[in-house]
Amino acid sequence: MGWALLCVGLLLALYTLLRHGLRSSPRPRARPALRGRTAIVTGGSSGIGAATALELARCGARVILATRNALRGEAAASRIRTETGNEEVRFMHLDLASLRSVRAFASTFLHQEPHLHLLINNAGVSAGGTTEDGFSLPFQDYCDSKLANVLHARELATREQDTQVTCYAVHPGFVNTALFRHAPLWLKPLLLPLAWLLFLDPSEGAQVVLDCATRDGLEPLSGRYFTDSGPQQPWPRGRDDRLARALWESSERLVGLGGA
């Protein structure tokens, strides 16, 4: 029994040394006061979204957790209110796999809230199947969506360049979140230990998101792609303005907003 406990202790010590030696964690920054600001965080009930919402609430923002599961959303909102003392944290239902739900959410928000200052498009899924509108959810489409995020930010910045609206595409790093529950069963025994060993915690992954949302002086970099090392050049396809415009116009048609 003594040898077994010693072995377990040595393994835990080795794990801790490897975890801290192999991972590079972004350092938390001081955040500005956000009282009087309203933020929407999609997928805000867990993972990076919950960590982002928690920090925004600590800064005094009014935070809307836009999630599809009411029980988890209400529980997360209650937990953040208790932890921060900020009573301006609430849940609103939003299922991003349903355009009907997206439209209902937008309508409700516009009727209930006078302003929106920060929109954190955090929610993601890679679960297979299709949405109720027929859009595909296999893993390859999830990967393609990351390029689409970069192109979307680029085109949105172009369209809003004469306004005070700014936007940023963010890669938070490799973060250990519940997204891995959708991994194939054969991959989980390999993936999960590696995620615990090498990947960032959600609070660490939230740092670059919070930087882009709250840091002064980034306005001239609207439309750029950010990592925890700051603004980066994406792969050539992520810098293709013609592709960004074509994606925007196709997206408008697909979601029923018209387009050129």
> Which one is catalytic: 15, 142, 168, 225?
142
Q: How buried is residue 54: exposed, middle or buried, by Cβ count under 10 Å (0-12/13-18/19+)?
A: buried
DSSP states of 25-74 as a string? PPPP------TT-EEEEETTTSHHHHHHHHHHHHTT-EEEEEES-HHHHH
SS3 category, 113: coil
Token pair of 105, please?
């959410």
142 is catalytic: yes
Contact 33, 59 (CB under 8 A): yes
Which residue, among 59, 34, 39, has the nearest Cα to 49 in the 3D structure? 39
SS3 116: coil
- Active-site positions? 142
